[in-house]
Structure 1
Amino acid sequence: MNDPEELKQAITRLRSEKAALQVQSRLLDNFVNFARSSVKERVLTRLLQKTLEISAELTAADKGSLFLLNAAGAVTDGILTRVDPTPEQRSRIIGQVFDKGLAGWVRQNHKLGLIVDTRNDDRWVNLPNQPYTVGSALAVPILKGEELLGIITLLHEQPEHFNQDAANLMQITAAQIGNALENARLYSKLDESYRSLEKAKMKIEAYSKALDNEMEKGKKIQRDFLPRHIPQIPGWEIAIYFHPARQVSGDFHDAFILPENLLGLVIADVCDKGVGSALFMALFRSLIRVFSGKISLQGLSVPGTTKTEPNSQGDYFYEALNAISLTNDYIAGEHGEEGMFATMFFGVLDPQTGKMAYVNGGHEPVFIVNQFGVKKSLKSTGPVVGMMPGMEFNVQQVRIDPGDILIGYTDGVTEAMSPKEKLFGKKRFLTLLEKPAPTASELIEHIKHELFNHIDNAPQFDDITMLALHREND
């Protein structure tokens, strides 16, 4: 290469390429720093500002502007020469420079635009009330392949400040700027998506907290309506275990003294979960107590029965069980649209004789066990309670002898899941009854021990309830 002119051009080209690489390096460094920064300013906006600063520094420009464009050529973001224009001024300026000005020419032609002297080039538009003088201008397209990503416009107050060397330098530099801006644009999209996810996460957390509060309210309702004190009857032992699920459910149990020194025992499971089931649990429990105490509501009757007052304990013994039919008709008649019902075992015990009359409304079998295992299974004697009005519930009778234990449970026991999602099961439950403990509390403790060994740390979504009644030996 002996030609001085060729040598000069080669040196100029190398300088331009070196400058372009330096620009790329600086922009990438700034991009990384912006991305790592804890300042919540948009990375893309900060990189636009830095890009304009570096471009002005390379060309010794007085001022400049930088616009990002979408695929349709519309301006999506930008840095203006004017300081802090109003939104109205900003929109008007962008419209004018892209309509008739140099930036508009570059957008249309995808070529670099060099104005050596603005007085002699109709591509330059003097804006109204422009606070500065422009003698020469250079507008450079930022391209990514065929796509126009943006336009940098550099200004100087003196004519002929920008020449072909400056144009060539910016032409090479623009390719590096394009890479940096494309990375920043992609990062900004990811950042916006991340921020959207963060906002969504905050909303979900707030909603989750509200649900937790509602569940706590439901659980409190459930706890408040469970018996605080278990009746103490000479010669009898009552043991109850209740373990609420993570979700609010509808299990309930009750033990209460009825007129004529009889004992009422209830174990039930209201369908569904949530606060609604807890509220209906409270309603079912209250109705059973009210109706079994011979308090009736106007307009309700029991199929096949009369409303005469009982004349003896024997009459009342069965009359109390009319509470099941009355409760069924009230729930089905007044709240039928909600579709809420309960499986329920209600027994009325005469502690003096051990005789128990009962209704099992679609509930799990209740068992009577003794030292030899399961003595009797008290299976369903009618449908679930509250599904349809006018249903019939058959009353059955059984005797609990000295040493016998009556044990009832809800399906949360047999359907308890292990970490491997295996059910505890009815078969395993019945196996535990084959060798019953000597007391009601010991029997429940034995079942609990086996049950929670099975559950381990697996989450449970249904309440676990057990009720046991032991007649002590004379």
Structure 2
Amino acid sequence: METAEQARVEAVRELGLLDTPPEERFDRVVRLAQQFFDVATVAVNLIDDDRLFVKSAVGFESGGSLPRDNSFCPLTIDTQQTLVVSDARNDADWADHPFVTGDPKVRFYAATPLAGPNGQVVGALCMVDREPRELSSSDRALLDDLAGWVETELAADADAVQAKEIQRRLLPRKAPEVLGYDIAGRCQPAYHVGGDYYDWHLLDDTMLQVTVADVMGKGLPAAVIAAGLRTAMRVTSRAHTLMEAVRRTAEGLQDDFGDSGTFATMFTARLRPQQGHLEYVDAGHGLAVLVSPGSPTRQLASRDLPLGAQPGSLWTSNEARLEHGDTLIAVSDGLLDAFSDPVEAVRAAEQLVASASSADEMADRILAAAARAPLADDLTAVVVCRENA
């Protein structure tokens, strides 16, 4: 049976913040606390099973860890109450502590526990000074308010963790085995998870459907809509034309789009592998290209609107053909951060097809190219290569 402490430690780890760099959203809180209370050090600390991780601090180095038994904060975790030590040298419980008798020569310590989204105490917002002092009732209220601010940010992290898990479950576990084709897909979340996804499935023995979509927005709401979009496309595609499947999907999710004030761009295509025939619908996406060695690269785009942009919209079907040696590449707009303009991106796609040896290598190199710039959005890439005859 899981103990209370095991459940607490699991809650800490589920935040996904241990051993991560400092972040401005937490740094801002500790800077304000230092200004308000005029103390030497303020820190947001997370308490793991055997260590204290300094997520954010002023007056002390962030990003490091201390043995749990050497720090003050675990007592705040144990009591789940605000702890104030006005003068550690005159406090029987703390006078012999190595941080009091030696560096950093702590005299004053105050901390309030930080609860995670599920109510478990995961850390503490603490203040340290080398001079003794008292905290008034208004000071304690202010410290509690600042701790509440940190807890709001921790809740946002839990939302992101849930979104990441939803997003992970949307993705295919492996590429389909289609004779004469090499297929790969990748999805790299940014720090804030959005609604990217890709999917592929065989409608029958003669047709493969591939989809790349991007729900505008961040976090759990976008991920939930992406999950609904994937399910609706899979269900409607079984019995309807591609255009009708897109229309029915948009119609079924219109309330969700309206309530959330968002929309989704999507590129979806049906490939008949033996003939290389490609039917596609571009719903405001515009980020799919057909690279044919020796021929101009073709952008597979249209003027059709994204899903959810306007109720009652219709989408058109277009056609293309994958000859032997051709490659279809569809990405999300996260890739645009890596290129100064679309022409540069097309040239990069052509160079990629000419130099990579497999669809997996192409997909990996697309993500690597995007990693050279700060990733402000999720990045998704699907590559479908028709092998040479």
Which residue is 1:266 aligned to?
Answer: 211
Q: How far apart in 1 are the matches of 2:340 and 2:167?
A: 25
2:175 corresponds to 1:230: yes
Amino acid at match of 1:337: D
2:387 is aligned to: 472
Equivalent residues of 2:278, 2:319 under 8 A apart:
yes
Q: Quick one: which of 154, 165, 171 aligns to 1:209?
A: 154
Size of the aligned set, in residue pairs, is 262
Once the two structures are superposed, the pairs formed by residues 250-399 of structure 1 within 5 Å of their partners are: 250-294=195-239, 319-332=241-254, 336-372=258-294, 374-399=296-321
Within a 5 Å distance, the mapping from 1:99-248 to structure 2 comes to 195-248=140-193
2:369 to 450, 460, 471: 450
Alpha-carbon distance between aligned partners in 2 of 1:334 and 1:198, rounded to the nearest angstrom: 39
Match in the other structure for 2:347: 431
Distance 1:201 1:333 in 2: 37
- Helix, strand or coil: the match of 2:178? coil
Assess, with a 3 A threshold, how the Cα gap between structure 1 residues 434 and 226 changes in structure 2: closer, same or farther.
Answer: closer
How far apart, CA to CA, are the structure 2 residues paired with 1:248 and 1:39?
47
List alignment gaps of at least 5 residues for structure 1. Answer: 1-34, 42-186, 295-315, 417-422
Q: From the superposition, tell whether residues 354 and 203 of structure 1 become closer, same or farther in structure 2 (CA, over 3 Å).
A: same
Query: Quick one: which amino acid aligns to residue 151 of structure 2?
Result: A
Give 3-state SS (helix, strand or coil) of 1:434's partner: helix
CA distance in 1, matches of 2:311, 2:177: 36
The separation in 2 between residues aligned to 1:440 and 1:235, in whole angstroms, is 13
CA RMSD between the two structures: 2.7
Q: Does the CA-based 8 Å contact 1:321-1:348 persist in structure 2?
A: no
Q: Deviations over 1:349-382 (max 9, x none)?
A: 0001000101000003310113347521111251
Determine the C-alpha separation between the residues in 1 that align with 2:367 and 2:160: 25
Structure-2 residue corresponding to 1:415: 337
Structure 1: which amino acid aligns with 2:222?
S
Distance 1:229 1:443, change over 3 A: closer
Q: How far apart, CA to CA, are the structure 2 residues paired with 1:270 and 1:40?
A: 59
Instruction: Output one character per residue of 1:15-60: Cα deviation in whole Å (capped at 9) or x when no partner.
Output: xxxxxxxxxxxxxxxxxxxx9723899xxxxxxxxxxxxxxxxxxx
Corresponding letter in the other structure for 1:465: T
Deviates more, 1:333-342 or 1:364-373: 333-342
The Cα of 1:415 is off from its aligned counterpart by: 2.4
3-state SS, counterpart of residue 278 of structure 2: strand
Partners of 1:445 and 1:218 lie apart in 2 by 23
Alignment check: 8 A CA contact 2:242 2:280 kept: no
User: Scaled by the length of structure 1, what TM-score is found?
Assistant: 0.51
Q: Indicate the larger mover: 255-264 or 438-447.
A: 438-447
| Aligned-partner residue type, residue 384 of structure 2 | L
Give the Cα–Cα distance (whole angstroms) in 1 for the partners of residues 349 and 170 of structure 2: 29
Residue identity opposite 1:242 in structure 2: C
Of structures 1 and 2, the larger Rg is shown by: 1
Which amino acid in the other structure matches residue 300 of structure 2? Answer: L
**Structure 2 length as normaliser, TM-score?**
0.61
| Unpaired stretches in structure 2, ≥5 consecutive residues | 1-84, 92-132
Tell me, yes or no, if the aligned pair for 2:257 and 2:263 is still in contact at 8 Å: no
Using the TM superposition, give the Cα deviation of residue 333 of structure 1 relative to its aligned residue in structure 2, in angstroms. Answer: 5.0
Counterpart in the other structure of 1:146: none
> More helix per residue: 1 or 2?
1
Partner of 1:38: 88
1:369-397 Cα deviation digits (max 9, x unpaired): 13347521111251101233321211000
Distance in structure 2 (CA, Å) of the matches to 1:372 and 1:442: 21
The structure with more strand, counted as a fraction of residues: 2
Alpha-carbon separation, structure 1, partners of 2:147 and 2:267:
45
Q: Tell me the distance in 2 between the aligned counterparts of 1:199 and 1:271.
A: 35
SS of 1:352's partner is: coil
